[in-house]
């Protein structure tokens, strides 16, 4: 192996998941795995990872939207007093618009 080539490091799979399913569901999963060209384990792990990622993303997006809504409503109901820069910008706008 040359210096520029690095050995690929695989993460150790130290944890195990187990699930009991009906024979029908097992056949369905096996068929889907076959169609994808993967093993049942690879199919189940990839599917679970995708579902977990989507669930977390959906929760976080919903949570952030709720926080953003609260910040927006609070800003509308309790606007901060304009600072010097905002007052100067308003004056420039009035002059440019002839107001």
34 in Cβ contact with 43 (< 8 Å):
no
pTM for this entry: 0.54
75 alpha carbon, distance to own chain's centre: 27
pLDDT for 49: 97
pLDDT for 3: 53
pLDDT for 10: 66
pLDDT averages per 10-residue partition of the chain, 99 residues: 58 87 97 98 97 92 80 90 94 93
90 in Cβ contact with 82 (< 8 Å):
yes
pLDDT for 8: 61
């Amino acid at each position: 192996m040359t210096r520029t080539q690095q050995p690929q490091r695989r993460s150790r799979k130290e944890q195990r998941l187990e699930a009991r399913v009906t024979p029908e569901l097992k056949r369905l999963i096996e068929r889907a795995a076959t169609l994808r060209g993967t093993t049942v384990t690879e199919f189940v792990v990839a599917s679970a990872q995708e579902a977990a990622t989507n669930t977390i993303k959906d929760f976080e997006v919903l949570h952030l939207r709720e926080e953003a809504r609260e910040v927006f409503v609070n800003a509308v109901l309790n606007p901060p007093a304009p600072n010097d820069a905002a007052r100067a910008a308003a004056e420039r706008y009035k002059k440019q618009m002839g107001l």
